[in-house]
Amino acid sequence: MKFERVSRVLNTLSCVGSAVESIAVRADVEVLEAYAALEILRCRGLAEGRIASGEGSGARFFLPAGISEPQAQLLLWIGEHGPASAPELAVRLGRNAGEVRTDLFILRTAGRLVDVCGAWQLQASMTDATVRGIAQALEARKKILDPKK
């Protein structure tokens, strides 16, 4: 499924929850596409809810507690495209750079992101030991390239 469609579905989520059919209409996608996008978002921890079984019981999906839609968009973009700097994320998502930085720091505090030398990436993609190792290697490289510092 294309990133743009998943992003549109994510844009429709709120903290109160919506039925899949309503999400599909607001996101301008087919109902089956909405289900697929919601499953992708749910697997990434960017949506909560589940498909209910039985007649008359509709599934409701919503943003996880403690995360805003713009923060979820940051996580989705990084998850799809890989590590990026705060200025790049601001440009790619069409947002104010200061607001993006604030959201990045909130997500880092929540344990969702890690900053490796200015490139923000998903915390789950690296262990702390790997992050420290990369940071140490980059520092060693700086010393080799510029021994005066």
d(CA 149, CA 140): 11
| Average confidence (pLDDT) per 10 residues, the chain, 149 residues | 86 83 92 90 85 59 88 92 94 95 94 90 68 69 70
pLDDT of 77-113, one tens digit each?
A: 998 898 999 999 999 999 999 999 999 999 999 889 9
- The amino acid occupying position 136 is Q
d(CA 134, CA 149): 19
Take residue 126 and report the two structure tokens written for it: 């690296």
Which domains does the chain show, CATH number per domain? 3-62 (1.10.10.10), 69-144 (1.10.10.10)
DSSP 116: E
The pTM for the full model equals: 0.72
